[in-house]
Amino acid sequence: MPNLTDYIEDYLKKLLALSSSQYIEIKRRELAGKFSCVPSQINYVLERRFPLERGYLVQSRRGGGGCIRIYRIETLRNGSWRDLIDSLDRLSFDLGRARQLVKRMVEDKIISRREAAILDQLLREDLYLLTSLNSEELRLLLRELFVNALQELLKIEY
Amino acid sequence: MPNLTDYIEDYLKKLLALSSSQYIEIKRRELAGKFSCVPSQINYVLERRFPLERGYLVQSRRGGGGCIRIYRIETLRNGSWRDLIDSLDRLSFDLGRARQLVKRMVEDKIISRREAAILDQLLREDLYLLTSLNSEELRLLLRELFVNALQELLKIEY
DNA sequence: AGTGTCAAAGGTCAGAGAAGGTCAAATAAT
DNA sequence: ATTATTTGACCTTCTCTGACCTTTGACACT
């Protein structure tokens, strides 16, 4: 026999599944109204059913126009990001794919915009012009630097 | 779910981005009119969204022909660190000093632990062993990568 | 030139209202 | 008995408005 918390959890997860973006936005009061409960019930549900460990990130803003955002950090849990990085390592590494990966990781909130900025700088070919590296050497070096940086980065919690 | 303040902030930041100079000039009354709000709302937006700590400087003149100027500037904190970075650039760059700088920036909360982790990886000499770089070439490359990454990083707000 | 007045800016501040957050106590489930 | 849920009183943050204040420049008057 499901309880209120279960119903609200299901509802939010359905919304997330339907959403075309990586997150949903809710109004605490409204949602509480829909389920005829006190607003703080929503906090309880978020705390219990949408913790970071389970792959959710909750952010909120108070005041007029405030709201709660729930992000799905889908691939963080099963470690598929690490697999992706490893595949970059083993298979052909190229700049385009690396940059693409950085972009997606930002979108999925795996890394921050600032972290992405460093990685993007690292991938700037022109910075390496002053060296005598040939293009294959450069590719291997970039791969080494990029993959390593990313692996270390993901070891540390936000 | 954006509110009035968000809209006005966006509008002003777009103007700033489009502007060819370091600042934009607005008329408080006019702007308030455009967004159908009271003039003091503009002050509120400036106070909340364009404070010095975030790299904005707001000046104004009262009276006939008065107006408000919003400058995009570098924050003091970033500025003094940037000087340090530049000095690393011009003077002798070496790994020890670079690592030390990273450490101090973390302590001063200019950069995060994760950001530091990427920079530290970048400074790992052993990653460059697979290349044919001699030690002076390596030093120059590291300097280039490091200084560039840091400079880009400081351009982005947390 | 000096002064007074007025209108046209912009500035300040307090208060109302609109969210969301916390925490402890009561209740229900296991 | 212990853990999970639910509620409600109280708190903090953010936004918006309106009444009232200050500064500046133009112009008229001496």
Q: What is the CATH number of domain B4-72?
A: 3.30.56.130
Please indicate whether, in this complex, the C-beta atoms of A127 and B117 are within 8 angstroms of each other: no
Percent of chain B with pLDDT over 70: 99
Q: Are B135 and A153 in contact (CB under 8 A)?
A: no
Q: For the segment A91-134, what is each residue's pLDDT rounded down to a tens digit? A: 678 999 999 999 999 988 889 999 999 999 999 999 999 888 88
Give B89's contacts (C-beta < 8 A, 6+ positions apart).
Answer: B143, B147
For chain B, give the longest Cα–Cα distance: 68
The structure tokens listed for A48 are: 């219990």
CA B131 to chain A, closest CA, distance in angstroms equals 6
Q: Are B56 and B85 in contact (CB under 8 A)?
A: no
Please indicate whether, in this complex, the C-beta atoms of A149 and B114 are within 8 angstroms of each other: no
- Per-chain mean pLDDT for chain B: 94
Please tell me the distance from the alpha carbon of residue A103 to that of residue B64, in angstroms, as a whole number.
49
Please tell me the distance from the alpha carbon of residue A55 to that of residue A57, in angstroms, as a whole number.
7
ipTM: 0.84
Please tell me the distance from the alpha carbon of residue B24 to that of residue A153, in angstroms, as a whole number.
38
Confidence of residue A78 (pLDDT cuts 50, 70, 90): low
Which nucleotide does the CA of B60 lie closest to, via C1'?
C10
A120, A131, A143, A154: best to mutate for the B interface, most B CBs within 10 A: A131
Q: For the segment A24-65, what is each residue's pLDDT rounded down to a tens digit? A: 999 999 999 999 999 999 999 999 999 998 999 999 999 999
B7 CA to centre of own chain: 22
In chain A, where the domains are located:
4-72, 77-155
Where is average pLDDT lowest: B87-91, B99-103, B142-146?
B87-91
Q: For the segment B111-123, what is each residue's pLDDT rounded down to a tens digit? A: 999 999 999 999 9
Comparing CB atoms, the residue among A25, A130, A153 nearest residue B114 is A153
